Amino acid sequence: MLPHVFVLAVLCVTCASGASPAICGATLATPTADLTGQSDQGADYWAALDKQIETTIKAGKAFEAREWLKPEHTNHASLMMSNRELLEWVNKFYAVRAKKLWVSHIAADGHVQVCHEVLLEMPKETDARKAVLKLRDEFYKMALPTPDHGTHYLLISLE
């Protein structure tokens, strides 16, 4: 069996002083590149991840992706790609009927606010869910399809 690649998802916002990020929620080990196309995480894990994402959104620690990525926000940046590239991906996810996307895990790098994650509200329709997961696999360049765990949200790490 091939090893799993994990990213530690730490939900953060910048301190009011602009100093280092403050931890805002619990941390969850999130499988962002399961090389086998399968996951060994149980239902409790996925339910906890859904709850953590929902808490982050309700607490105002996630921001609507299209708005946050607008070019006029010159102090906003995306980890590992340009804002334009991330906005293209956001638009692709909306095109396959993702319900809503947010940027989160925002950390300060000098005067620049850098997003490390995208949170996605999954559609209810089976065909739309499959399309979202297929696009997620394209984003991560996955060879095998990711199974649908029936989650309400999907976390896309940019790390």
Mean pLDDT by 10 residues, the chain (159 residues): 33 32 34 42 91 97 97 95 96 98 96 96 97 96 90 94
| Runs of H (alpha helix) within the chain | 43-58, 65-68, 83-95, 126-140
What is the DSSP-derived secondary structure letter of residue 60? T
pTM score over 0.85: no
Backbone torsions φ then ψ of 65, nearest 5 degrees? -65, -50
* Cβ-contact 156, 118 below 8 angstroms: yes
Q: What confidence score (pLDDT) does residue 36 get?
A: 31
Determine the pLDDT at residue 40: 64
CA dist 134 and 41 (Å) reads 19
**pLDDT number for residue 58:** 97
The one-letter code for the residue type at 22 is A
The pLDDT of residue 41 is: 79
Determine the pLDDT at residue 92. Answer: 98
Residues near 81 by Cβ (< 8 Å), separated by ≥ 6? 158
- Residue 101 near residue 65 (C-beta atoms within 8 A): yes
